[in-house]
Chains A and B, each alone.
Chain A
Amino acid sequence: MSALTLFRNVTHWRTGERFTLAVEDGVVVPVPKYPGEHARMFDAHGAVVAPGLVDLHVHLREPGQSGKETIETGTRAAAAGGFTSIACMPNTDPVVDTPAWVEWVRRRAEAAGHCEVLPIAAVTVGQKGEQLAPLEALAAAGAVAFSDDGRPVTSAAMMRHALEYARPSGLPIICHEEDPSLKGDGVMHEGFTATRLGLRGIPGEAESVMCRRDADLAELTGGRVHLAHLSYHSSFDALRDAKRRGLRVTGETCPHYWVLTDEAVGDYDTSAKMNPPLRSEADREACIAAIVDGTLDCFTTDHAPHTADEKSRPFSEAPFGIVGLETALALTLSYLVEPGHLSLARAVELWTDAPRRIFGLPAVTLEPGSQADLVLFDPRGDWTVEPSAFHTKGRNTPFAGWRLKGRVLVTMLEGRVTHSAADVAFERPAAEEAAR
């Protein structure tokens, strides 16, 4: 039986009310009249409390690529970023395409204990696009969705079969939308910066034509399509159109697509290299518009750590991907809430309730009885991004040195503190208060 924790002077993320939140035995409880001498208290001075953040798109790199990240370091980074649940992609070595590997990932995450980890399993064996993975068995082992992320399902027929076959499970297929023939050898967005640097471009249509294909396949099959890390104006239009047609299609985007453009590649900066690539200013604006009008259903990070050696190669030879878990909330607050594009409540919803709905996860609230997965953050707290201080093994971020607003103070998973900022100190109640 764990002791009572009281967060005083917290601001409710949705209502804006000031209140005291009490947690005991892993759940939210009514605030007791007398906290008792074993209680611990934290005066939040108005900091915001919300359900723990959820990230549906993380690369934890295990099994097989522990030089880049481990389940331990990745989930520790998630806790530092305010996340209590993350879904991890199966493009590991070996690929997570058997129930045994799903089970292995879950157990390893439970042993680490920093964050709930929801394994996503491969759509096809080895993500090769040739043979369906055992989707029913994978679902039974605990997979929450299927994806060949990182290696798009090129064959329309294979995608059709996957959507049909997965339909009874109710689980979505997460689509990394990319036409390999249009992408070619491209390494960044096709536009002026690529032209200036002499780098091969990836047209946005490599993404958007596949969004349209898979929306049509969702109509054909009645399956659930979730479009991953959308970056391009025409992809947002494709998602908008799919919703208007009443199809079971949802979509996500990531902070770098609403904050940065391809100009961030600057002088061959590999920390601005990811796939899909940073696009034009018009696409960045279209991304924000699609967030504001509700076209996009949720946010994800596409956290993709790589080693410093890998990222310090010449641009064309460096791998795609940036880390994102520890900057996601601050980039949301600094670039969506602060400029007035979104209310704080809507921004938080897109990191909490919205992804939970897509994956059919049980709701987490701040009401008594709810599991105490929560994050306490100071929306105005400013800090400087220092990759050397990250908990992830990855240092590959384009935001190094940026000053951002929005600082995570405490993350709690099932009532346990999984992260607290260095300046957070819990206090004991004064003797007379405890006993009164």
Chain B
Amino acid sequence: MTTTVVHAAPTPYGAGIFSNVGGPEAFALAGTPGAVMSRAAADLDDRAATDGRHLLGLEGMTRDELLGLLAAAKRERAWLAQGEPNRTDLAGMTVVLAFIEDSTRTRTSFEIAAQRLGANVVVFSSAASSLNKGETLLDTVRLFEAMGSALVVVRHPSSGAPVWLARQLDRMGVINAGDGMHEHPTQGLLDLLTLQDAWEGRFEGRRLAIVGDIGHSRVARSAIAGLTTLGARVTVCGPATLLPAEVELLGCDVADNIEDALAGADAAMALRLQNERMEKGLLPSSGEYARVWGLSPERLTLLAPHAVVLHPGPVNRGVELAHEVADGLRARILAQVANGVAVRCAVLRRCADATRRPHGFTSDVAAR
């Protein structure tokens, strides 16, 4: 009969559950009672983030990875500006755009980027109502994998769906084009690129104020993750009903009102307000929102002189942004859209390169 006393019991909330990562050794190492943060969770994120086939989120990406992608995006932008014919970087490769949630601008941006690099593009879109179960999406994406597609760009209403998809697929790279309220990493990168231009290449010491519906915003989460990694600061503000619990633990500051958030900031980002928020009783009206949280010309004077204004679009004019602000000199909304194509070219190239090595996707499928 076994009577061995084992003292290396797992921490109560510890790494032991992630046996697929570290096995029994993992919790033996994490066995100190003080180790409150489970490192295994972060390890998993890191592994997903550093697997070059995928772009799942900006959280967990290193400063060098981010700056590398921004530099690549700048090169793509310069090339795109020349109006040359399509390239052949992704020639012979099929990129699937699986949009299980409506998005004209993100989808067309990816579509243009993939075509400019010479990929075959398949658009697969479906309303969440007819295809919202993950298993159905997985079955569909597996079909594309079997048909030889190398990359899938996925937009999905469920947070974590791209992470989940990446785990299930054998070969395909997964690019997150927005998942629920989690992340929108290519939007985050295009925001970073826009700010890098506005800030003359320097992130350290700069500060972005994000105004509005932080709780439901994947744009905000990606911006916070990217900017804090690059040494900038982020202040969030918005109605208390739209601020998520313990948001400050993401590494940002929280301001009580828009004036405090904007004062001296190097950029401001207004988030789109969905009508659904009023319907669910989170806000009284869009009129009240505009008065309390809208970016007006007067409020812009609180910003630093060089500051710019971002918005992920589409803008509710007169709600998040006053007309004068949306069309004003500080607005970078169209620059964001242009940067989006460049960023997506850079991301597609990176992920495509990674699917080719070390075991080339094409040869592997042929061998099966």
> Are B133 and A313 interface neighbours, CB within 8 A?
yes
Interface residues on A, range: 35 or more
CB-CB under 8 A from A405, the residues of chain B are 5-6, 9
Instruction: Write out, one digit per residue, whether chain B residues 244-264 have a CB within 8 A of any chain A CB (1) or not (0).
Output: 111101100000000000000
Assess whether B354 is interfacial by the CB under 8 Å rule.
no
Contact of B2 among A271, A381, A401 (CB under 8 A): A381
Complex Cα distance, B8 from A191, in Å, reads 29
CB-CB under 8 A from A401, the residues of chain B are 16-20, 23-24
CB-CB under 8 A from A402, the residues of chain B are 10, 16-17, 19, 27
Assess whether A426 is interfacial by the CB under 8 Å rule.
no
Contact of A400 among B19, B38, B244 (CB under 8 A): B19
Stretch of A70-78, A259-267, A296-304, A356-364 contacting B (4+ beta carbons < 8 Å): A259-267
> Are B17 and A200 interface neighbours, CB within 8 A?
no
Instruction: Write out, one digit per residue, whether chain B residues 141-174 have a CB within 8 A of any chain A CB (1) or not (0).
Output: 0000000000000001011110110001000000
> Are A384 and B9 interface neighbours, CB within 8 A?
no
Contact A314-B164, Cβ < 8 Å, known A191-B246, A195-B245, A378-B3: yes
Assess whether B54 is interfacial by the CB under 8 Å rule.
no
CB-CB under 8 A from A384, the residues of chain B are 24
Assess whether A197 is interfacial by the CB under 8 Å rule.
yes
CB-CB under 8 A from A264, the residues of chain B are 13, 17, 38
Instruction: Write out, one digit per residue, whether chain A residues 382-407 have a CB within 8 A of any chain B CB (1) or not (0).
Output: 11100000000000001111111101
Main secondary structure of the interface of A (DSSP, over half): mixed
Contact A317-B133, Cβ < 8 Å, known A264-B13, A267-B45, A284-B13: yes
Assess whether B59 is interfacial by the CB under 8 Å rule.
yes
CB-CB under 8 A from B351, the residues of chain A are none
Assess whether B181 is interfacial by the CB under 8 Å rule.
yes
Assess whether B365 is interfacial by the CB under 8 Å rule.
no
Assess whether A228 is interfacial by the CB under 8 Å rule.
no
Complex Cα distance, B182 from A332, in Å, reads 35
Contact of B164 among A192, A268, A272, A398 (CB under 8 A): A268
Complex Cα distance, B37 from A281, in Å, reads 11
Contact of B10 among A44, A46, A403 (CB under 8 A): A403
B66 to chain A, nearest CB (A): 18
CB-CB under 8 A from B19, the residues of chain A are 400-402
CB-CB under 8 A from B44, the residues of chain A are 266-267
Assess whether A335 is interfacial by the CB under 8 Å rule.
yes
Complex Cα distance, B134 from A312, in Å, reads 9
Assess whether A380 is interfacial by the CB under 8 Å rule.
yes
CB-CB under 8 A from B134, the residues of chain A are 313-314, 317
> Are B164 and A284 interface neighbours, CB within 8 A?
no
Contact of B245 among A46, A190, A261 (CB under 8 A): A190
Assess whether B12 is interfacial by the CB under 8 Å rule.
yes
Contact of A197 among B9, B132, B160 (CB under 8 A): B160
Complex Cα distance, B260 from A204, in Å, reads 31
> Are A259 and B12 interface neighbours, CB within 8 A?
yes
CB-CB under 8 A from A338, the residues of chain B are 9
Specify which of B23, B183, B246 lies most central, judged by the most chain A CB atoms within 10 Å of its CB: B246
A to B contact number (C-beta, < 8 Å): 162
Interface residues on B, range: 35 or more
Instruction: Write out, one digit per residue, whether chain A residues 299-327 have a CB within 8 A of any chain B CB (1) or not (0).
Output: 00000000001001111110000000000
B335 to chain A, nearest CB (A): 26
> Are B17 and A400 interface neighbours, CB within 8 A?
yes
Assess whether B345 is interfacial by the CB under 8 Å rule.
no
> Are A260 and B13 interface neighbours, CB within 8 A?
yes
Complex Cα distance, B156 from A401, in Å, reads 31
Specify which of A269, A402, A404 lies most central, judged by the most chain B CB atoms within 10 Å of its CB: A402
Assess whether A4 is interfacial by the CB under 8 Å rule.
no
Q: Name the CB-closest residue of B to A404.
A: B9
CB-CB under 8 A from A383, the residues of chain B are 2
Instruction: Write out, one digit per residue, whether chain A residues 238-250 have a CB within 8 A of any chain B CB (1) or not (0).
Output: 0000000000000
Assess whether B278 is interfacial by the CB under 8 Å rule.
no
Complex Cα distance, B194 from A339, in Å, reads 54
> Are B37 and A263 interface neighbours, CB within 8 A?
yes
Q: Name the CB-closest residue of A to B47.
A: A267
Assess whether B213 is interfacial by the CB under 8 Å rule.
no
> Are A267 and B9 interface neighbours, CB within 8 A?
no
Contact A268-B1, Cβ < 8 Å, known A313-B134, A384-B24: no
CB-CB under 8 A from A403, the residues of chain B are 6, 8-10, 16, 24, 27
A172 to chain B, nearest CB (A): 30
CB-CB under 8 A from A132, the residues of chain B are none
Specify which of B9, B59, B158, B160 lies most central, judged by the most chain A CB atoms within 10 Å of its CB: B160
CB-CB under 8 A from A191, the residues of chain B are 245-246
> Are B12 and A315 interface neighbours, CB within 8 A?
no
Assess whether A32 is interfacial by the CB under 8 Å rule.
no
6 additional A-B pairs beyond A196-B59, A284-B12, beta carbons within 8 Å, are: A192-B245, A266-B44, A317-B134, A380-B4, A403-B24, A407-B2
Going nearest first, the 5 A-B pairs with the smallest beta carbon separation are A401-B19, A198-B182, A266-B41, A198-B181, A268-B160
Please list 23 pairs of residues, one from A and one from B, whose beta carbons are closer than 8 Å in the complex, sorted by A's number.
Answer: A45-B1, A45-B3, A47-B1, A192-B246, A195-B244, A195-B245, A196-B249, A199-B180, A266-B44, A267-B48, A267-B160, A312-B168, A313-B164, A314-B156, A315-B164, A316-B159, A316-B180, A378-B3, A380-B2, A383-B2, A402-B10, A402-B17, A403-B24
Seen from chain A, the residues whose Cβ lies within 8 Å of a Cβ on chain B are: 44-47, 190-192, 194-201, 258-261, 263-264, 266-269, 271-272, 281, 284, 309, 312-317, 334-335, 338, 378, 380-384, 398-405, 407, 409, 423
